[in-house]
């Protein structure tokens, strides 16, 4: 699930708010999803965004750019740039060290190739921060069958990470990630689409954080996570055009892994046009998970594997979000839109204590985005 990062978890909020950005931008396209075809190339487009996240002692902000361009009848390319300028004073940091500032930069590129009723997509991503370097490559294939009523999707991603530690030049480790995806999308009616997707992940190497410590009878000991992890997830989504210039989507997702984490996610979204130029989206989301086998808030025994990583604890969160899109300009050869989104999430941990107060930890996180998008 999105709450469980596959990289070291010293930046506890980043994975979540980056996922929320993706969800927010996707929700605005609910109307288009009911008519999209696997054999179509993505539209030529450009997006420029600024995001701001604040929650749990973490503040992150920065720009993002994305450009797509068709270069032949059956081929298009894309490129993206994403920056996080992070100030981290999260509970994990302030209870064991001092707050810090750093910048994470990500580059990504993609290629889409269409052959008859099939589309093949290749992606590559590279991100760098002072103590972490991640690279990944992926491929997805979408094949239409039964006259375009059914689409079958297959995908694979391979990632390699290098892990460092500030002011400790002797520390270095690596992590490898494999993700396999399979899905099917079915057109139920001219206005309703149902999709079922499965995902299998296998991770190997350094899967913890060189900065985090666990507690045994109140004393700090180094965190030690297993060096292998296997996880699975299934996702069911129903998307429908309600016929009155409004649309609905419902998504249910279940996740489990061999660390004994079991998680469920439910999201409901509604979209509606107002006039010719305005589109509004609203969404609500609930997430809950159980704790890992080796997680403990304050262990009584220093076992082989031990962690006090709150993202591996028993917690839940509730989120609400909204997005407004304004059609700024529409001509025969191009369209320009202005977009604004805001998401608020409330996290409650059931067995992670704030050692400064002795109370169970909780916090609220918000994400705001402003971006302009154009198709041409």
pLDDT of 62 above 70:
yes
Asked if 15 and 3 count as a contact pair (C-beta separation under 8 A), the reply is: yes
Q: What are the boundaries of each domain within the chain?
A: 14-375
Residues 261 and 289: their CA atoms lie apart, in Å, by 7
pLDDT attached to residue 38: 64
pLDDT at 300 over 60: yes
Q: Which residue has the higher pLDDT, 146 or 9?
A: 146
Closest CA to 130 of 166, 96, 170: 166
Is the model's pLDDT at 30 over the cut of 70?
A: no
Spacing of C-alpha 200 from chain mean position: 16
pLDDT at residue 23 greater than cutoff 70: no
The answer to whether residue 227 scores a pLDDT higher than 60 is yes
Greater confidence (358 vs 93) lies with 358
CA distance 67 to 18: 19
Round to whole Å and give the CA distance between 321 and 88: 24
Q: Span 209-230, mean pLDDT?
A: 94
Give the integer Cα–Cα distance in Å for 29 and 271.
9
pLDDT tens by residue, 246-267: 999 999 999 999 999 999 999 9
Token pair of 305, please? 């594997």
pLDDT-derived band of residue 54, with 50, 70 and 90 as boundaries? very high
Q: Give me 49's structure tokens.
A: 């965004």
User: Taking the complete model, does pTM exceed 0.85, yes or no?
Assistant: yes
The proportion of the chain whose per-residue pLDDT surpasses 70, expressed as a percent, equals: 89
pLDDT at 33 over 80: no
The confidence score (pLDDT) of residue 94 equals 85
For the segment 196-213, the average pLDDT, to the nearest whole number, is 96
pLDDT, residue 147, reads 87
User: Once rounded to an integer, what is the mean pLDDT over residues 202-220?
Assistant: 94
CATH of 14-375, one of 1.20.950, 3.40.190, 2.40.160, 3.10.540: 2.40.160
Of residues 126 and 34, the one with the higher pLDDT is 126
pLDDT band at 9 (very low <50, low <70, confident <90, very high): very low
């Amino acid at each position: 699930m999105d709450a469980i990062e596959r990289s070291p978890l010293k930046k506890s909020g980043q994975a979540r708010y980056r996922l929320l950005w993706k969800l927010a931008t996707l929700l605005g396209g609910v109307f288009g999803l009911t008519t999209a075809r696997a054999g179509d190339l993505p539209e030529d487009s450009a997006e420029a965004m600024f995001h701001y996240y604040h929650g749990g002692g973490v503040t992150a902000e920065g720009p993002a750019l994305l450009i797509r361009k068709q270069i032949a009848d059956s081929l298009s390319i894309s490129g993206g740039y994403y920056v996080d300028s992070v100030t981290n004073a999260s509970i994990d940091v302030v209870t064991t060290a001092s707050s810090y500032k750093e910048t994470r930069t990500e580059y990504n590129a993609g290629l889409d190739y269409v052959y008859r009723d099939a589309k093949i997509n290749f992606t590559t991503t590279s991100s760098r921060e002072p103590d972490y370097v991640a690279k990944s490559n992926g491929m997805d294939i979408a094949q239409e069958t039964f006259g375009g009523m059914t689409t079958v999707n297959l995908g694979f991603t391979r990632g390699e990470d290098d892990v460092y530690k500030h002011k400790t030049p002797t520390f270095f480790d690596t992590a490898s990630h494999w993700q396999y995806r399979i899905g099917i999308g079915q057109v139920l009616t001219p206005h309703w689409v149902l999709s079922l997707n499965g995902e299998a992940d296998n991770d190997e190497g350094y899967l913890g954080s060189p900065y985090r410590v666990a507690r045994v009878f109140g004393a700090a000991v180094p965190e030690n996570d297993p060096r292998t992890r296997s996880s699975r997830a299934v996702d069911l989504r129903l998307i429908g055009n309600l016929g009155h210039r409004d649309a609905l989507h419902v998504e249910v997702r279940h996740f489990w892994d061999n660390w004994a984490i079991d998680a469920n996610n439910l999201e409901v979204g509604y979209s509606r046009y107002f006039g010719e130029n305005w589109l509004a989206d609203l969404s609500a989301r609930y997430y809950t998970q159980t704790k890992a086998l080796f997680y403990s808030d304050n262990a009584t025994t220093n076992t082989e594997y031990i962690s006090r990583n709150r993202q591996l604890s028993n917690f839940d969160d509730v989120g609400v979000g909204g997005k407004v899109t304004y059609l700024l300009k529409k001509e025969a050869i191009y369209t320009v839109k202005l977009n604004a989104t805001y998401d608020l999430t409330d996290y409650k941990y059931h067995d992670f204590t704030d050692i400064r107060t002795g109370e169970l930890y909780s916090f609220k996180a918000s994400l705001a985005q402003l971006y302009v998008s154009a198709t041409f």
